[in-house]
Structure 1
């Protein structure tokens, strides 16, 4: 039997056959990775200008903003590190960070009554199904571990790749809306199958 592979030094939220989903911490390694990820063209095209000018900005975000979200949600919601698990034949190799996946839920009136998922993967790792695999795991985690009444997915209306991923993880296209949570920006809205037809039930404006 092979020796168990090392896992990320930060606590693991959940895992898939190929991936670990774990907590981010304000360490130099995590700060540098998040800065690099959130300044890629993929991120800025989907989300707008990066909030980080350097890794120190990422450290401040992880320290002040994300740790507060973790504490408030009992470490069950927030932005999480997505890492590729080592191959079983290489048990001494560390997990490799490849992206982030989020499960966010604000407070009404600006937030909605169920969480939404988001994801960002390094360009070099895209096209391998990692976002879909992680997204499915996060939806299952939200429904089975947290008992949420549903899950949303929001993305730019022109982002065909993100829309395909949201559909693959089990979310349905519910049209386009100007969402207050995104400053009134018009976004594509996806909802987990089985959620009410009237999204106003969850606080989403018509």
Structure 2
């Protein structure tokens, strides 16, 4: 793998990053240890982000015009750095990750405790609701159905690795039609339109009971 590639030792869980330790990561049942998911597009793995390794790539993805409209984290690299550091220095309720498909970094994810997030003030949250944010990085990876495929794989991982979690939650911008379509393809259902401080969102829900039917 080229030295410019931000993912090293991809077969092993990365060293702990930022300010939270393994005990705090238990808020999400050790995302780093979840392991790979086999998909039709290849083997997919969530690798918890490390600023020194991943920041240039994540910042570049966030500055892509298609992403910047919805993520609002475009600009100098220190904008993305502050965002990552805030999560990594927290108590483990949100874990930023790079999504790696067949060894290739291609997406940015945030797995978070929706019931402990400000989002919980805007919908009837249940204990251990787990949220997903997704950014497909490269333009070449968009428009191919990868979003729905990987969202399904990650939702399955959440439900398999977090037995206390009964629902996976997402709140994409209501204007982001491709994102809404991807969540629906992944087995999420539209639950409500939610007025959040930064956006009008579609509350998307994937129930554990649905996983048993897929």
**Superposition RMSD in Å:** 2.6
Query: So what's the TM-score if we normalise by structure 2?
Result: 0.68
Question: 1:110–1:16: structure 2 CA closer, same or farther, 3 Å change rule?
Answer: same
Mapped to 2, the partners of 1:149 and 1:43 lie a distance apart of 29
Q: Deviations over 1:105-129 (max 9, x none)?
A: 2565724341221211122211233
Q: 2:67 aligns with which of 43, 49, 67?
A: 43
2:189 corresponds to 1:155: no
Question: 1:108–1:80: structure 2 CA closer, same or farther, 3 Å change rule?
Answer: closer
User: Alpha-carbon deviation of 1:23?
Assistant: 1.1
Deviation >4 Å, runs of 4+? 106-109
| Structure 2 residue aligned with 1:131 | 147
2:198 corresponds to 1:178: no
| Structure 1 residue aligned with 2:206 | 192
Question: 1:68–1:8: structure 2 CA closer, same or farther, 3 Å change rule?
Answer: farther
| Structure 2 residue aligned with 1:204 | none
Q: 1:101 aligns with which of 94, 106, 109?
A: 109
Which of the two has higher C-alpha Rg?
A: 1
User: Alpha-carbon deviation of 1:139?
Assistant: 1.0
Contact kept, 8 Å, 2:73 with 2:80, in 1: the verdict is no
Counterpart of 2:69 in 1: which secondary structure?
helix
Structure 1's unaligned 5+ residue stretches are 1-5, 86-94, 196-206
Question: 1:59–1:144: structure 2 CA closer, same or farther, 3 Å change rule?
Answer: same
Q: Deviations over 1:72-115 (max 9, x none)?
A: 35xxx522101221xxxxxxxxx221111222225657243412
Query: So what's the TM-score if we normalise by structure 1?
Result: 0.70
Question: 1:37–1:129: structure 2 CA closer, same or farther, 3 Å change rule?
Answer: same
Question: 1:107–1:51: structure 2 CA closer, same or farther, 3 Å change rule?
Answer: farther
Aligned length: 170
Question: 1:57–1:156: structure 2 CA closer, same or farther, 3 Å change rule?
Answer: closer
Contact kept, 8 Å, 2:68 with 2:74, in 1: the verdict is no
